[in-house]
A and B are shown apart, each in its own frame.
Chain A
């Protein structure tokens, strides 16, 4: 079984700061990590491989430094890694990104065998769009299976897959066919600690680095800024609110403070008392 896992190297969002004067993102020194949602996809892929045999190829598009994340993925146990990197990809929106990744997956298929399943995370923590997975599925005409909580069964002979998909108000139990694209839900698998042997292997392993040309991308007009239908015109900081919070004096007894808070609330919003009574009564 050949599985491709798409990952993205993202800035650790918890550590991003905005410059107080220029209002621009201070990226320097912000550590990068594998997009946390992608780890659930990687773990699920590794489990499938461990169970059914085959290989896991991790793929990312990004700057040369994204090799760090690919190597990290190999310490978890991925068999090989491909970095798609080229200045022509700069400024790609989700449509251009899915074009480039789809081409790279085609090339991976030609090189190491067509993938049975392509995995992606639910979304990234920096872009938050959840659009690239579906974009890849569409371009490669893979059966698209998003927000998957569990893969129940893969039958490599019948080329079928059964899974559980998170939907509004419940779970869809689906059957579909290989090849497919699966985006995994967070919490769907507990992420392993990489084995020591894998860590050693990852440190020495060679990451395959492809330019646009290497990946067989001929039409550069579909890449980067030129291939992106969306244009970012303006980036700005949200307007801060004029007034700060009104402090409630903390009294020695917590209950007195609580009553003071409720007094202040009901004074500010006289209707609230009646509304809360109705809610509490379950009306």
Chain B
């Protein structure tokens, strides 16, 4: 569980590891593992495709998309979408065993594809699926894996420079996998911008048959219980987010945050301490260990803005901080600040927005 940087010893080591072993020189192209589950592709895959396109263009290589799933379970659609978001080649694996995500079947599939087609860079979403899979595949291939990258670049010597927050986000570090291929990295949803979709863009499909027998896979999915839509949070992808912190003083006062979010047609969230205090469920947490958000408008009420929180909200177009402390770190990233008590101010702001943007909101809420 250590990913601790080793700055002191790093430079000499880095210099030592310059020359890539001969058998890895055949590794080319930048791949994205497309997360297809029950016919739906996680948007993080397209965000990664945008990054993969930039890296591949710098390296002068192709973008490959790995699409795996049961036959006719959205695989062809996912392949077409991969092209629209920038892939040149889709490596398509269709097998009934891949109907539901399971570590064993997916690890075997992705490992086999990597060994067969040899990508130099392999990107996955830092989702439950992506993290579960990336750790297994990297260990099987005995290669380097950098988690939760916030920036991906190609160096002068063509190696991948993967930058990620460390020590709870207070510092950034740039990590290389110099001697091994593929160079693997995960990126959290919403950290990278969604690339433009190019309608009608096409590419090559490489169909790969995989010899997997259901009997050889130990873990079985007995059933899938979908979240009730009412409790499902769309926090990461919301256009407006209102969040509360310890400044609200009680879990009940998070209701004020929810009310404003409702009037704005947005989602609500909170800082990490609120989750730790049991005021809100973990899927409402915003920040480094919670959700990363990129809304058009973010309102932080009673949140001081520890680094942990900041790294999760910096991508917002407009940040409003409501905080009595005029020196709170959130003010370093906010665009507008209101130095007042959020508990008193939130109801007034809710009413003001209601009057300004949605004259009929009252009726709807009542109904």
Given known A-B contacts A35-B1, A146-B132, A276-B357, A245 and B139 have beta carbons under 8 A apart: no
A95, B240: Cα distance in complex, Å: 39
Given known A-B contacts A231-B10, A258-B351, A97 and B321 have beta carbons under 8 A apart: no
Selected from B140, B167, B220, B264, the residue in CB contact (under 8 A) with A138 is B140
Say yes or no: B218 contacts A126, CB within 8 Å. no
B:124-178 near A, CB below 8 Å: 127-129, 131-132, 134-136, 138-140, 142-148, 161, 165-168, 170-178
Say yes or no: B320 contacts A127, CB within 8 Å. no
Say yes or no: A176 contacts B218, CB within 8 Å. yes
Say yes or no: B1 contacts A248, CB within 8 Å. no
Say yes or no: B172 contacts A269, CB within 8 Å. no
Say yes or no: B219 contacts A269, CB within 8 Å. no
A256, B10: Cα distance in complex, Å: 56
A245, B300: Cα distance in complex, Å: 13
Selected from A93, A162, A166, the residue in CB contact (under 8 A) with B2 is A93
Q: How far is the CB of A27 from chain B (nearest CB, A)?
A: 9
Given known A-B contacts A25-B167, A128-B148, A8 and B340 have beta carbons under 8 A apart: no
Say yes or no: B224 contacts A173, CB within 8 Å. yes
Q: Is A198 an interface residue (CB 8 A)?
A: no
Q: Is B302 an interface residue (CB 8 A)?
A: no
Q: Is B358 an interface residue (CB 8 A)?
A: yes
Given known A-B contacts A229-B143, A229-B179, A233-B176, A91 and B337 have beta carbons under 8 A apart: no
Closest to A229 in B: B144
Q: Which residues in A have their C-beta under 8 angstroms from that of B115? A: none
Say yes or no: B3 contacts A138, CB within 8 Å. no
Given known A-B contacts A93-B2, A127-B3, A131-B135, A257 and B348 have beta carbons under 8 A apart: yes
Q: Is B91 an interface residue (CB 8 A)?
A: no
Say yes or no: A134 contacts B139, CB within 8 Å. yes
Q: Which residues in B have their C-beta under 8 angstroms from that of A93? A: 2-3, 144
Q: Which residues in A have their C-beta under 8 angstroms from that of B100? A: 172
Q: Which residues in B have their C-beta under 8 angstroms from that of A272? A: 296-297, 318
Q: Which of A131, A132, A185, A225 has the most chain B CB within a 10 Å cutoff?
A: A131
Say yes or no: A232 contacts B1, CB within 8 Å. no
Say yes or no: B232 contacts A169, CB within 8 Å. yes
Closest to A251 in B: B340
Selected from A175, A177, A233, A258, the residue in CB contact (under 8 A) with B14 is A233
Q: How far is the CB of B85 from chain A (nearest CB, A)?
A: 19
Say yes or no: A261 contacts B320, CB within 8 Å. yes
Q: Is A112 an interface residue (CB 8 A)?
A: no
Closest to A259 in B: B352
Say yes or no: A281 contacts B265, CB within 8 Å. yes
Closest to A132 in B: B1
Closest to B103 in A: A144
Say yes or no: A131 contacts B37, CB within 8 Å. no
B:181-222 near A, CB below 8 Å: 218-222
A:228-250 near B, CB below 8 Å: 228-238, 240-241, 244-248, 250
Selected from A6, A129, A265, A278, the residue in CB contact (under 8 A) with B320 is A265
A235, B222: Cα distance in complex, Å: 45
Q: How far is the CB of B156 from chain A (nearest CB, A)?
A: 13
Q: How far is the CB of A44 from chain B (nearest CB, A)?
A: 16
**Which of B26-34, B56-64, B247-255, B328-336 lies at the binding interface?**
B328-336
Given known A-B contacts A129-B1, A162-B222, A16 and B167 have beta carbons under 8 A apart: yes
How would residues 36 to 64 of chain A score, 1 for a CB under 8 Å from any chain B CB and 0 otherwise?
Answer: 00000000000000000000000001000
Closest to A138 in B: B139
- The A-B contact count (CB < 8 A) is 333
Say yes or no: A143 contacts B218, CB within 8 Å. yes
Q: Is B288 an interface residue (CB 8 A)?
A: yes
Selected from A97, A131, A146, the residue in CB contact (under 8 A) with B103 is A146
Q: Which residues in B have their C-beta under 8 angstroms from that of A197? A: none
Given known A-B contacts A248-B336, A254-B345, A128 and B224 have beta carbons under 8 A apart: no
Selected from B17, B104, B239, B339, the residue in CB contact (under 8 A) with A250 is B339
Q: Is A69 an interface residue (CB 8 A)?
A: no
Say yes or no: B167 contacts A245, CB within 8 Å. no
Q: How far is the CB of B4 from chain A (nearest CB, A)?
A: 7
Q: Which residues in B have their C-beta under 8 angstroms from that of A114? A: none
Say yes or no: B104 contacts A144, CB within 8 Å. yes
Q: Which residues in B have their C-beta under 8 angstroms from that of A128? A: 3, 147-148, 165, 288-289
Say yes or no: A127 contacts B4, CB within 8 Å. yes
Given known A-B contacts A6-B1, A129-B3, A247-B337, A13 and B143 have beta carbons under 8 A apart: no
A258, B299: Cα distance in complex, Å: 12
Q: Which residues in A have their C-beta under 8 angstroms from that of B282? A: 185-187
Say yes or no: B136 contacts A134, CB within 8 Å. yes
List 25 contacting pairs A-B, 8 Å CB cutoff, sorted by A.
A14-B306, A127-B3, A132-B1, A138-B139, A138-B140, A143-B218, A144-B104, A144-B136, A169-B232, A174-B222, A175-B222, A176-B219, A229-B144, A232-B10, A241-B333, A245-B337, A255-B351, A259-B352, A261-B320, A272-B318, A277-B358, A278-B265, A279-B264, A280-B264, A280-B357
**Assuming A230-B175, A254-B344, what are 16 further A-B pairs, CB within 8 angstroms?**
A13-B308, A14-B306, A25-B170, A94-B1, A124-B2, A125-B289, A127-B3, A135-B135, A162-B222, A233-B14, A233-B174, A237-B170, A247-B336, A261-B349, A265-B336, A279-B240
- 10 closest cross-chain pairs (CB), A and B: A134-B135, A127-B3, A279-B265, A254-B348, A229-B144, A258-B352, A280-B358, A245-B334, A245-B337, A230-B144
